[in-house]
Structure 1
Amino acid sequence: MKSIETRPQIKREVAEFTHAKELGGIELLNASYHKQNFSRHSHEGYTVGVIESGAQRFYRTGGNHIAPENSIILVNADEVHSGSSAAEGGWSYRAMYPLPEQFTLLNEELDLPANGAPYFPEPVVHDRVMADTLRMMFHTLDTSENRLLRESVVYSTMIKLMSRHSRSKIDIPRHAAAQTQLELVKQFLDDHPSVDISLEELAKLAGLSPFYLIKQFQIKCGLPPHAYQIQSRVRLAKQKIKQGYKLLDVAQECGFHDQSHLNRHFKRTMGVTPGQYAKEFNSKFVQANET
C-alpha cells in the first residue's frame, strides 16, 4: 500500500473588511493573520475586538499586552497601538471600530457625561459573557437583513460594553499654553495631511523649539509628528477611497510617494489593502481602477 504524501498546510493571511449601516456606519473586520505586523498607529474610532483563536500581542497605554483566545481587545479612539502574533499559528479575530459620536448617541441610556464618549482603561478584558455577546452581534450583522434586529443588537451590545468596562477619563493637567501650541500642530496635520512640511516649519507655527515639539507632541499624541502625519494621510486616503477615487490618484493626493507607499502604510494601519477597503464602499471600484 502506497503511503500518501501530504504537503504542509500553508497559512494564509485572510482579511474581510465590511461596514454595518447602523449608527451611521460602523467599520468591521474579520481577519486571520499569521505574519501581519501592524505598525504603531491610531484610528479615529475605537477598536473592539474578540480573539477567536491564537493570541495577539499589541502595544497600548504605554505597555505591551497579550490577548489570548476568547479575550476582548479594547483600544480608545485616537489611542496609539500596534499588533502582531503572540502564538505560533497566528491569530484570528472579529473587530468593530465605532466612532466617539456613535457612542454619544447612546449616552442617555447610561447617564454619561455630556460628550458621551467612554474611556476603556483595560487593554485586554477577560469577560466571556461580553465576548459571546460581541460574537452574537457579529453573527447577526453577517446573516440578518432585519433592520430592527440589527439595530437592536448593535445598540444593546455597545451599551452593555460601556456599562461593564468603561469609565470617565480623568485628564492629567498640563501646561495650558504648551497644550494650545501642540494642538495647533495637530490641527495642521489633521487639516493638511498631504502637505510636505518640515519640522522647522511646524516648530515655527507652534512657537516651540523643534526638539521640544517632538518630545511634547509624542507625549500628547502618542506618536512623533512624522508618524502622526502618516496616520492623517491614511485617514484622508480612506475618505478618498470612499468617494471612488482611483488608487493612484489617492496616493498622489494624500501625499504618498506612490501607490506602493500607500499600500504599505494602509495595510499596516487597517489590516487590509486599499483595494480590499475600496470594494466594500464602491461597487464601481474595479472598473475605475482598470481604466
Structure 2
Amino acid sequence: MKTEFADYKHLQELGGLELLKARYQHMQFSKHVHEGYCIGIIEDGAQAFNRNGQRHIAPKGDLILVNADEIHTGSSAVESGWRYRAIYPTPEVLAQLTQGMQGEQGTAPWFPHAVVHDVGLAQQFSLLLNLLEQDHDLLLKETLYLSTLAYLIQCHARHANKQHTLLGAQRNILMAKDYIAAHYTQDISLQELATFVGLSPWHFLRQFKKYIGLTPHHWLIQVRLQHARTQLKYGHTLSHVAHACGFSDQSHFNRHFKRAMGITPHQYCNGLTH
C-alpha cells in the first residue's frame, strides 16, 4: 500500500475552500501558519503536533483544530503514520456565521482545544468531506458545510480574548512584522529589523521569538509562502512565483512549500483546477 500521498482541491463553488486528503508516515511539517483555520479529522493512525508551543496527540476519530495564523507543526504519533482529511475555511466565513448566531456583528471564533473528541460532530464532518469530493448537489454541500461549521462553533469555540493594551516590546514586534510584510521580497537583515524598532539585534531576536514563536527569518518564509499561494491562484508559473516572492530559486521554494503545506507547489496548482 502506498505509504504517503496527498490530494489537494480548491473548491471554487464554496468560495475557494481548500480541501486536503493525505496519508503521511515520514512527513515532518515545519512550524508554519495558515491564513485560514485548519479543521481536520484523523481517519487512521495518529498525528502528533505542536500548536503554539504545546504538544498534542490526535488519534483516529478525533478532530484537530488550529486557529487562523496559529503556529503549528505535524508528524506521525505512531510508526504506521496517519491518514486525515482537512478543510481550511477563512476567518471571514466563520465570522459571518457568528454574526448570525449572536444577532450582531460577528467576530472570528477561537478554538481553545487543539484536539476534540466528539463522535456526532466527527460523523457529520466525515459526511461533509465525502460530499465535498462529489461534483454535484451544490445546495446540499453549502447547507451541510455551513451547518457543520455552525455546530462546531457553538459546541467548541470561545470568544477570542480581547487585546489588552500592548506593551512596548509587543508594539516593537508588531512594527517589525509590518516591516517584514512590506519588504518580504528583499533580503532583509537582522540589523535592519533591529534598527527599525530601536533594539540591539540580539535583544530584538529574543523578543521576536518570545512574542511570535518563530525567528524573524522563519516568519519571513511564512509571509513569502502566503504571497506565493496567492500568486499561484492567479495562474503565475512556479518559476515566476519563486522569484517574485523572494526565494533564492525554485528548489528552495519547493522545499519550504512542501514542509509547510504537505504538498508540492505543482500539486497545489493542480488542485486549483478542481
Deviation at 1:22, TM superposition (A): 4.9
Q: 1:86/1:188 Cα in 2 relative to 1: closer, same or farther (>3 Å)?
A: same
Whole-angstrom distance in 2 between the partners of 1:220 and 1:114: 29
Helix, strand or coil: the match of 1:105?
Answer: helix
2:81 maps to 1:90: yes
2:132 maps to 141
Whole-angstrom distance in 1 between the partners of 2:190 and 2:59: 40
In the comparison of the two structures, how many residue pairs are matched?
Answer: 274
Whole-angstrom distance in 1 between the partners of 2:86 and 2:217: 27
Whole-angstrom distance in 1 between the partners of 2:239 and 2:273: 16
| Letter aligned with residue 135 of structure 1 | S
Deviation at 1:248, TM superposition (A): 1.4
1:269 maps to 260
Aligned CA-pair RMSD: 1.8
1:233 maps to 224
Whole-angstrom distance in 2 between the partners of 1:279 and 1:265: 18
Residue 100 of structure 2 contacts residue 106 of structure 2 at CA under 8 Å; is this kept in 1?
A: no
Q: Deviations over 1:30-74 (max 9, x none)?
A: 001111110111111111110000000100132111100001111
2:16 maps to 25
2:41 maps to 1:55: no
Residue 194 of structure 1 contacts residue 253 of structure 1 at CA under 8 Å; is this kept in 2?
A: yes
Deviation at 1:282, TM superposition (A): 5.0
1:168 maps to 159
Deviation at 1:183, TM superposition (A): 1.3
Q: Percent sequence identity over matched residues?
A: 45
Residue 244 of structure 1 contacts residue 282 of structure 1 at CA under 8 Å; is this kept in 2?
A: no
Report 1:156-235 matches (<5 A). 156-171=147-162, 173=164, 175-235=166-226
2:114 maps to 123
2:66 maps to 1:81: no
Residue 248 of structure 1 contacts residue 259 of structure 1 at CA under 8 Å; is this kept in 2?
A: yes
Q: 1:170/1:77 Cα in 2 relative to 1: closer, same or farther (>3 Å)?
A: same
**Bigger RCO of structures 1 and 2 (CA < 8 A, at least 6 apart):** 2
Helix, strand or coil: the match of 1:66?
Answer: strand
Structure 2: gaps (5+ residues): none
Residue 38 of structure 1 contacts residue 269 of structure 1 at CA under 8 Å; is this kept in 2?
A: yes
Quick check: 189-198 or 32-41, which moved more? 189-198
Residue 15 of structure 1 contacts residue 31 of structure 1 at CA under 8 Å; is this kept in 2?
A: yes
